Amino acid sequence: MEGIAHKSISVNGLNIHIAEKGHGPLVLFLHGFPELWYSWRHQIVYLADQGYRAVAPDLRGYGDTTGAPVNDHTKFTVYHLVGDLIGLLDAITSDQGEKVFVVGHDWGAYVAWHLGMFRPDRVKALVNLSMPFTPWNPMGDMVQILRAAYGEDHYVVRFQEPGEIEAELARMDAKTIVKKFLTFHESGPIYFPKGKGFHHSPDDAIVSLPPWLSEYDVGYFASKLEKAGISGGVNYYRVLRLNWELSASWSGAKVTVPTKFIIGDEDLVYYMPGMKDYIDGGGFKKDVPLLEEVVVMKGAAHFINQEKPDEINKHIIEFIKKF
């Protein structure tokens, strides 16, 4: 991580922590749950070495970014999150209209899709991982859909009641929480039965780390989780219903920036209801007309940018260098 600089940028009432390295065209990296800028450690170093300025913030509610009202999930809508990014870009670029490259994973991809939809004038090209675009659905919000498909124990459903999942996770230390989330490597959903913890890994089960995740990595994630708490990250799930209500006017809207999408063939997202058909059957391309390539990586699960860093680095650079 040598040479990565850390700064705090005042934006939208927040102090947004960013990690950055390099000089040249700006590449903005957006992390997912329950992560940090650190999820992009391999990509930051690689892109900087390739002549780019790599910038990765801790998103609202995460890590060393402060000022977010974590006890009020209504302050975590996608409009707040995209607004944070526009403010951040205005603050760290010399030209306030500058277009940048954007790379997102998981919730970071969700925010990146909406940045591309709301403000295509600020996005030069987009590379998203794991989470495809999710168009506004007249049948209901994602929580309703997942509840109908998987029941009340699905983790997204369990995350809805403020304070409830925080109390259950409080039984575990931060390192254990990080390990149980980041080492999940199944194509099926994460279940969190009430009062029973992670279905795939009981509270007292010893977690073996994969080669791509070290005890140091876990310790870094855990130290920031202890500082910020988990409510900020969980709020992204709690606001799904409100996002759906506020976004009805964007029904049928498209993401009109050049895009590449990458997902692992063992990623739980790939097996969500209707997702494979949407990605492979033409719906995705219809909603993202400048989608140039979809890559399904063999043997990769959800945390693909950490699990397969060399391959992801190559996919990113091969795409953005065209612009």
| Catalytic residue (choose from 237, 270, 287, 315) | 237
| Catalytic residue (choose from 106, 114, 150, 278) | 106
Label residue 243 left, alpha or beta by phi (over 0 means left) and psi (-120 to 50 means alpha): alpha
The single-letter code of the amino acid at 281 is: G
Q: DSSP states of 88-117 as a string?
A: HHHHH-SSTT--EEEEEETHHHHHHHHHHH
Cβ atoms of residues 169 and 176 within 8 Å = no
Pairing of strands 259-264, 14-21: unpaired
Task: Specify whether 154 is catalytic.
Answer: no
Sequence-distant (≥ 6) Cβ neighbours of residue 259 within 8 angstroms: 116, 125, 126, 127, 128, 288, 290, 291, 292
| Catalytic residue (choose from 73, 80, 302, 315) | 302
Sign of CA dihedral 173, 174, 175, 177: positive
Task: Specify whether 302 is catalytic.
Answer: yes
139 vs 164: CA distance, rounded Å: 27
Sole residue written with tokens 């009340």: 152
Q: What angle is formed at CA 158 by the lines to CA 176 and CA 34, rounded to 5 degrees?
A: 40
Task: Specify whether 79 is catalytic.
Answer: no
Residues with catalytic roles: 106, 237, 302
